[in-house]
Structure formats: C-alpha cells, structure tokens
A and B are shown apart, each in its own frame.
Chain A
Amino acid sequence: MIDLINKIKDFKLTRRSFIGWTSAAAATVAVPVSRGLVAKAEVNKGAEATNGEGVWKTAACWHNCGSRCLNKVLVKDGVVIRQKTDDTHQDSPDFPQQRGCLRGRSQRHQVFNADRLKYPMKRKHWQPGGGKKELRGKDQWVRISWEEAIDHIASETKRISSKYGNESIWVSGGGDIKNAMATVGGYTSSDGTISWGAWLYTYEMLGVGEGLYVQGINDRVDLRNSQLIVLWGANPAWSTMGSATYNYLQAKKAGARFITIDPLYTDSANVFGAEWVPIRPGTDHALALGIMHTLLEEDDPITNPLVKWDFLNKYTVGFDADHMPAGVDKKENFKDYILGTYDKQPKTAEWASEICGVNASTIRYLAREIGGTERVALLTGWAPARINNGEGWVQAFSTLGMMTGHMGSSGNMTGVSCWEYAGNNGPALLTPGGSGLPEIPNAITNVINENQIFDAVLKGKYLQKGEGERNVNIQFIYHGYNAVLQTRSNIMRGIEAHRKVEFIVTNAYALTTTAKYSDIVLPVTTEWEREGAVREGNREILIAWSKIVDPLYEAKSDQEIAKLLIKKLGKNPEEIYPIDEKQQFFNQLAGSTVVKENGKDFEPLCTITAKDIQEWGVKGTPQQGRIGLKEFLDVGIYQVPRKKGDNLGFIAYKDFIDDPVKNPVSSESGKFEIYCKAINEASKKAFTEIAPIPKYEPRTEGYESTFSDWKKKKKGKYPFQVFNPHYLRRSHSTFDNVPQLREAWPNPVYLSRSDADEKGIKTGDTVMLSNEYGKTLRPALVVETLMPGTIALPHGSWVDLDEKDKVDRAGADNMLVGFVPTGLGTSGYNTARCNLEKWEGKPLEEDYKWDQRIIKF
C-alpha cells in the first residue's frame, strides 16, 4: 500500500508537481489528438443490451473454392456470435442440404481477424516515379488518408499514361479498377487458363464441354445409373466441398464401382472405396493412349466388342483413315498413330507404362473395364490438364470416351466433373438477375499470357496470341483483387518484376502477397460489409446473402474506390455506375428466375410488391414470382428439389447424339474432332505447335525432364516431380491467414515412404524443395499413399520469404513452378520438378503458431 494520505498532505511535493502537471495539461490541450472518444451523437446513455436470441442472417461465402453453400450467422447486439449452415429443410439424397465446410464456417475468423488491412497505407520511400523500388516488400509503411491515397493514384495514372501510354498500365484481375482505367484510355490486361488448364482454350475447337460454360456430363440423378465411375485426377472430398461427395455416394449406394487414377490416394478414393491406380503427374495422356491401344488390340466386334465403331463413325472426325476431314493427309489419322503404323512406335501398354508408371497389366485391365462395362462415367477434374503441353491430354481423354461410346446416354458420360457442378451437370434451374451496370469497353488490346507476364514486365515484350510479338513497357501495376504474385507461376521472378516498375497499387482486405510488394494498399470491405448479392451454385440453387455489418475500419467497397478514382481523374462516376449498390442488389433479386415444372420455361423467383420497392428505396416494378422477396432473403436460399423421372434431368450431348446434323457441337466440323485442324492452326500463332491429333509429347518440366539421360534412366539435378493438390485449409490462397484453419490443416509436404526412406527423412522433419526458380520449406509427412518419385505440395500457401537466403518458409507452390508458355498458353502448375533434401537450418514450427505475416526488418 502506498501512503497516499501523507503524499497528498505533503504540500511541498504536491505543490511542485501540481504546477508541472497542470501547466503541462494547459499547454498541451491545444495539441490535437486526431483519434479518440467523442460525445455520442444520439443520446443513448446507459442503454441496456437488447435481450433476446439474436437474428440468423444469410451471410456471404463468396470464395473461389469450387462450391457454393449456405452460410448463416447469428447476429446479436450488432455482433456475429456464431455461424451455422443449411438447416432450411430436411436432408435427403434428392433434396440435399447445401452444407458449408470448415472454411465457410471460419468466415468470422476472416472478417474480424486482427490482421485486416484497416487503413490506406503508403510505402515510406515511395515517390512519384518509384522511390527506392528495391525496398518493395521490406520497406516501412505510413498510414495515410483516403484523400491522399486517391490523389497519389490519380496523379500517377496521369503521369505514367502521358509518359508511356495507357499500355503501360497493367490491371490484374477484373472488376471495378478496370472500369476506372477504361474511362481514361484503357489498360493492358492479362489472361491465363487458371483452374481449367488445357480445357479452356481447346474445348470449343474439339466440340466438347469444359465443365463450366459447356456441360459435358450428365446430372447427379442419372449418375446413379452408372456401373463404373472412373475419377481421373478428381478429388471432390478436397476440391469440391458442399454436396458433391454426397452425389457420388448415392451412385455408390446404387451399386457403382469406383476407380481413381491419381498420384495420391485421395480422401475421395477412401470414401468411395475406390480402386487406386497411382500415376505420375502430367502423364495421364500416355496412360490414355496405352488404354486405347489395348482397346484396339483386344477388340473383336463379335466376341469382345470393346470399341464402339458406330459411335466413332457417326459422331467423330479423324479416328481412322476413312474418317479424315477433306484436304488433310490421311496418314495423320489417330488409329494409325496409336498402332504406330507410320512412326513405328505402337503406343502399347508397355510404352505407356514406362512414362506414366502404371503397370502394363493394369493398363490392360483398365481398358477391359472401361471398354467392357456397359455404363461408365469417365470423370476428370481440371488438375491433370493444368500441365505444360496439356492440350493433347484433353483430346486424348475425350477420345477414350468416344471410342468406348460412354457419351450421350443414361449412365454414360465422359467429361469434366469439378467445381460447383461436380457430379451434377446440366443447365441451371435458377438464374440470378443482372446488376444493371453497363459494360465499359477497354481501348487497349494488349492481352499478356500469364506465363509471360512477369517476363513481359522485365523484358518489355510478349506474344500477343493470334498475332505475334508486341512491345510493352509496363510501369504501373494495379492489382484490383487477384493475388497474382502468389497464385501465378514463379514467385521469385514476380518479385523481381514488382521491383522494376514505377508504381504498384493493391486493393485487399488482408496483406496478401501482392499487397506486400506494393507502394499503396487500399483496404476493401469483405462481402459481409456490402449490400448483398444473389449467387448461383450448383444448378439447383440460388443463394441471396445480405449485409451483416457496416464497413469495418476505413475499408471501402471496390466500387466506392473506383468511383473516387474516376472522379479524381476528372471523369463522371455516374456514367460508369449510374445506380448504387443497393439498386444493383435489388436488380439481381428482381431478375432472378426459376424453372417451371416442365423443365423448359422460367418464371420470376421473387414476388415483389410496391411496398417492398418503397421500403427498399429503389426503382422497380411489382412482379409475381414463386416466393416473397422477404422470405427469400430470410431463408437465404431457394432450391429446386429433384427426383428420379422429373423433367429436370440432363444427358450431356443428347441433342447431338439424337440428331448430329441438326444439333452440331461447337467444333468446325460440328462433330467431335479427334483430328482437330483448328487447334493445330491456332497453336502456330501461339507458343508451341500442337498436332491435330492427340500425340504424346514429353511435357516441359514433366517426368522425362527429371532424368539427365532418359534412355539409361539416369536421374538429373531435379529428380522429383512436384504437383499441387488443392488443400482444404484455404481456397487457393484465400483463408490461409486464419489460425484455426492452419491448426486443423497443418500444410505439410507429402512424401512417399520409399523416397523418404532413401533420404533418411521422417515425418515432422523440415525439408527443402528447390529448383532453379526458388526454394521452399515444409515439414514432411511421409505417406504410403503417394506415387514414389512424386511430391505433393499443397496449393496456395502465403509465401514467407527470407530475403537473406531467398528461402520461403511457407511452402508456396509457385516458388517451384516455372513459367514456360507452351501450346496455346496453358498454365502448367502441375508440371514442376525439384530436388528434395533435409533442411539443416532451424526446423519449422507449426505455422498456426506463427504471427500472421512474418517479415523481419
């Protein structure tokens, strides 16, 4: 205890101090404090908390995870205290609940995380023109006002565009910043095959579906008619959370057998009790050719009809010499390539085995199973096509389905099964309305392939697809929302590019890798802080989410930021955004439609009254729909129930199969093109030439490149293949900053038992993966369930680079993925190779214990 009484009584002491204290107070009272408490505007003194249970609201779960689920939050006294998922109706196979996953249920931890980017901030040494550009990523930062931030961005936009032209402005991602730049002369954009891999640039020419825009497999109710389901590089249990795995389980219950072809024995394989065929990444094409060779070898139209000749003859072009398009060399047909008639190399099971690592006997077994089973679903994810030189795989996989006739009828399907439509293709049964905003055209035609983008920044030239080389002088990078530096190939090269240009701005709600290497960062709101939106998911649902909390910190929406910038640039934001975000949300609701029972016609989803419109304070006209507007918003979801024999089923390509002349597919010939002239022609104006038929070629940085001498099988400098499974703790790079997800999914690197034993590596040891592009560390997880010679490094971890030794601690996949534009410009994330060694430095601690974003100065 202090003797306060005496202290107070001690006049001398008190007197001396008293004068100092009070005179200091008097002098400093004039020095402003810009933050602090103020008198509350509306007097609400001593108000007690509102009691009650709180309100459940439908909250956004908006990420690019490949699913769409119902996310609900309990809001009480303005605080989100709990989350739940779909319990709007009883769960059944025909009418399943749309249940969220661990990431969606951690959404609170993202929105209210202490690591939110809270204020506009400027890199301290940044000056117009760059200012110590080499310090990007390690400079000090200063909090600035919105006004100052927008001033800088507008004046640099003007300076850089007048000095170097608008071509010098690269806007990554899409959205509102593109609108802003389009109003003042345009911008260079970038483009890539991202998730799709080789499907994206080929499907139209081949006449098949790529799984999202064009649907290539049957609906989930019909999937129950398949006898054999082959999951080829597809792992819905990890990559398509939500109801997809449940759809497959119904097929399993109905009697389907499962085979998975994958480098990793996946959780899906486990759940479905699948037979596992381990394969090397990037070699699926060789396996498909080996299977097709066996089919030809063993086919007998009478005693063993494995090949569906009628299907090939009627619906495809280029399979054999008798069905070649006019004007091309008939020797270039696919059948003679398989048999090795002219190149003297039959693509036998043994030939394929050497490349893909699947035993020849297993390859023959697969051929007999796929060719000899009546109803087969040949389903692939996009992953096997996310490889260098991947276009031929798409064509080979599709050809296998055509050759075995597993297309266009009940229980038979061949195509992509992933993303929101995994195991359940077909036209959407509900469609959201448009927001009503105009499209803003871009006056600049530059489109840089993502495999070249960092090189284009550094070297000043790139290949404009379909045209040829163009010069470009990028001096201003604006990352509207993409984490490009994290999620595109070759991070080290990307950092170099980011330290070259004069100006970089990023909008973000946490310090993403792109934000970290920027000059100015602007805090954006999450979807929970915005008006709301209507979103589609799988074909049976529409979800409407509403605003949960007011914008946190100084965050603004992307549109608000774009408007401020447009205004500062001297243009009128009203022309770009004639309606506000609330009206946009209303338009989406009012324009939403739902299919009628006949499966053909659509009607408005929401009934909207004049009173609704008045309450919303928007423009609109009353309409009659399926359910009331308020009810839709309260429930947050409208789902069309399915049942066997309803009018809502879907058989992919059925129209074409029924009448190929009247309903041609999208290819030049209108048939499925096993010989595709268009691909060959397009490739001549792209990166490397692609044969018109799916000929196997060693992939750049693929399996063959792990050898210094392929013939003698002598391994080279980078003897291991590394691929990047999508990992459940994050959606690409999103969510990787959430500690509880880090704890649940610790993000090790998966090593096969035989490789680990050879290197003396045990589970928990820190290992380094390295190649000429970069080095990265991870704790090892040694498993029996991985193809030997192959390393699985989960996709999307936030790079954590030590600037001294250039080693990334976080296991960022793109430290190892080079950028080698091949074919039509497909991004080859799953073709990379590396060396593996035990890390002799300080071992890694589990990353959930790390501070969020660790940078040492």
Chain B
Amino acid sequence: MEAVKQSLPVKDIVNVFFAREFAYDILRRFFIEEPSKEYIKEFIQRNMIDQFPFQDESDGIREGVQVMKKYLSQHDPIHIDNHFEDLHWDYTRMFIGPFEILAQPWESVYVRKDKLLFQKTTMDVRKVYEKYGFQTADFNIEPDDHVGLELDFVYRLNQLCIQAGKSERPDASKEINYLLKEQQRFINDHLLAFIPMLAEKVATHAETDFFRGLAKILEHFLQMDSKVLQELLNIEIIQDK
C-alpha cells in the first residue's frame, strides 16, 4: 500500500524557513568577510549561538556549538581589542592571505584538478546566481564560488521562500516547492562538494576555537539542511486558507 503523503500548511513550514534564515545569516556573515565588531556584539549579546537550530538532531552541530561557547566563555571580543583582532586575523590568515591561504574558501580549489579560480566551476556558480537575478557585489573581484557567496545565495533563496509563504498567492506552494528543489540541488552540487574538506582545513589551521567551532557547525548544518530539504520535498505543502 502506498504511503500517504503527509501534508502541512504553509504557515507551519515557514517556521522552518525562519530557522534556516537565522542559521544561514550567521554562517554567510562569518564566512564572507572578516568579523565586524558590530555583528559580533549582536551575536554574543543575543546569545545567538545557543539558538542555533537542529542541535538536538545533529551531534556535529551540538559539538560545534560547544566549541564556540567554550571560546566565548574565555574571550570577550566585544570589550577586549586583542581578542577581537585575533578573530579578525584568524579570518584574514585563513581565507585572504597575503601569506599562503590556509583554508582556501573557494569551491574551485577543492573540486578542480588544476585548482584554478575563475574557471568553469566559478562560471557555473555564476550562472546559477544569474538565473535568480543575482551577481556578486564584487563582480570579477571575488570568485563567485566563494563559500560566503554560496551561503549568501542559499540565504536569499530561503528568503524568497519566506516571501512566497507570506504572499498568499495561489501558486505559493508550487513556488516554494521549486525553490526548495533548487536549494537542495545547489547545496548538494556545490556547497557539500567542498565544505567537508574546507571544514577540515579550518579545523587544522584555525587559531581560535571560534572558527574551529563555526566550521564544524557549517559542515554539519549543511548536511542536516540537505536532509531537511529532502523531508520538506516529501511533504505536501497545503495552501493556507
């Protein structure tokens, strides 16, 4: 007997989108550029790390959260300049240079034999962005397959899901379904193709538990999110009445 497909109303599903928005916002911000004092302040004072979703479902996320909390219990980057500068430098040295880049943040480096940037891998990602009317703010300055940009892209597609969910348009569930498929494809084809390797490099080279924990969260959250998307795709989304 065929399993009956479970169904949920859009408004319930949107809650998952808020969780994802919360998570992807943290991840994209910390991976796209050096940490800013302003955001770190919000991050710590709002105790955002404790609220990171799917901790109960994923040992990896939970462990990553603990590592970050350990860092935060011993450091005070809001008030102690040195602590903030060490975080800033940890990002710079791992992801920017100018010395050897310890954890190259670009997909190309991990999936291409020649490890070169601005090649087909970068352009394939660019084409996906273009399909949704996006381009990188630093066009041709930062390769499109930078981890922070790829996370930003998923963040934005998730926002489109939230908008659709709120829109009360008759075809909203169809649109959401399509966007979920697209996100899952992008996560599997691009992000998960290199994040496990990138996370390993961060684990090896980070000088702060902040980034060590964050990389662990990144890897396990993406794996979890891919499963979440799969489950959402198995659910029939019912248009709110």
Contact = CB atoms under 8 A, between A and B. Distances in A.
Contacts of A781: none
B115 A40 contact: no
Interface in B111-131: 114-120, 122-123, 127, 129-131
B92 to A, nearest CB: 6
B196 interface: no
A438 to B, nearest CB: 32
B163 interface: no
Nearest to B144: A37
A21 B136 contact: no
A699 interface: no
Interface string B128-154: 011111111110111000001100110
A326 interface: no
A34 B141 CA distance: 13
Contacts of B231: 1-2, 4-5
A17 B47 CA distance: 12
Given A21-B51, A141-B92, A553 B100 contact: no
A17 B17 CA distance: 12
Given A31-B42, A43-B133, A112-B116, A140 B93 contact: yes
A853 B102 CA distance: 10
Given A17-B53, A141-B93, A511 B99 contact: yes
B33 A33 contact: yes
Interface stretch (B20-28, B62-70, B164-172, B184-192): B20-28
Nearest to B21: A25
B21 A35 contact: no
A394 B169 CA distance: 87
Interface in A820-857: 851-855, 857
B156 interface: yes
| Chain A: interface size category | 35 or more
Nearest to A110: B116
A4 B120 contact: no
A46 interface: yes
A5 B6 contact: yes
Contact of B116 (A108, A549, A851): A108
B32 A41 contact: no
Residue of A35, A46, A124 most packed against chain B (CB within 10 A): A35
B62 to A, nearest CB: 14
B100 A45 contact: no
Contacts of A740: 114
Nearest to A28: B42
A14 B118 CA distance: 42
Contact of B88 (A21, A117, A142): A142
A521 interface: yes
Interface stretch (A77-85, A407-415, A487-495, A571-579): A77-85
A38 B99 contact: no
Contact of A114 (B25, B92, B109, B134): B109
Contacts of B178: none
A708 interface: no
B123 to A, nearest CB: 5
Nearest to B207: A857
B32 A36 contact: yes
Given A31-B38, A40-B130, A81-B120, A17 B101 contact: no
| Chain B: interface size category | 35 or more
Given A25-B21, A117-B98, A552-B141, A36 B148 contact: yes
Interface string A41-58: 101111101000000000
Interface string A500-522: 00000000000100011000010
A798 B153 CA distance: 38
A854 B153 CA distance: 33
A739 interface: yes
Nearest to B13: A8
Nearest to B159: A25
A740 B104 CA distance: 18
Interface string B28-51: 110011101011001100101001
Contacts of A4: 16, 228, 231-232, 235
A20 interface: yes
A515 B97 CA distance: 12
Interface in B42-99: 42-43, 46, 48, 51, 53-54, 57, 85, 88-89, 92-93, 96-99
A709 interface: no
A819 interface: no
Contacts of B235: 4-5
A27 interface: yes
Contacts of B115: 113-114, 739
Contacts of A550: 140
Given A4-B231, A31-B39, A49-B127, A38 B117 contact: no
A37 B117 contact: no
A697 interface: no
Contact of B92 (A81, A143, A851): A143
A665 interface: no
A324 B51 CA distance: 96
A855 B93 CA distance: 11
A39 interface: yes
A37 B116 contact: no
A109 interface: yes
Interface string A512-540: 00011000010000000000000000000
Contact of B134 (A28, A40, A118): A40
A141 to B, nearest CB: 6
Nearest to A14: B15
A34 B33 CA distance: 8
Contacts of A118: 96-97, 141-142
A114 B117 contact: yes
B192 to A, nearest CB: 17
A556 to B, nearest CB: 11
A115 B123 contact: no
B127 A37 contact: no
A554 B141 CA distance: 6
A855 B18 contact: no
Contacts of B123: 77-79
A25 B25 contact: yes
B96 A143 contact: yes
A693 interface: no
A511 B93 CA distance: 13
Contacts of B106: 114
Contacts of A38: 134-137
A662 interface: no
Interface string B205-231: 001000000000000000010011001
Given A5-B6, A5-B235, A36-B149, A140 B92 contact: yes
A121 B85 CA distance: 15
Contacts of A41: 135
A855 B118 contact: no
A40 B135 contact: yes
A21 B19 contact: yes
A32 B28 CA distance: 12
Contacts of A49: 127
A18 interface: yes
Nearest to A737: B100
Given A4-B228, A143-B34, A851 B102 contact: yes
A21 B119 contact: no
A24 interface: yes
B160 to A, nearest CB: 12
Contacts of A93: none
Contacts of A142: 88-89, 92
Given A124-B85, A142-B88, 9 more contacts: A2-B228, A8-B16, A17-B51, A37-B135, A118-B97, A121-B98, A550-B140, A852-B101, A855-B100
30 contacts: A1-B231, A5-B8, A8-B8, A17-B53, A18-B15, A20-B46, A21-B22, A21-B51, A25-B22, A28-B43, A32-B38, A33-B33, A35-B149, A37-B129, A37-B134, A38-B136, A79-B119, A79-B120, A114-B115, A140-B89, A140-B92, A140-B93, A141-B92, A141-B93, A552-B140, A552-B141, A852-B101, A855-B100, A857-B93, A857-B207
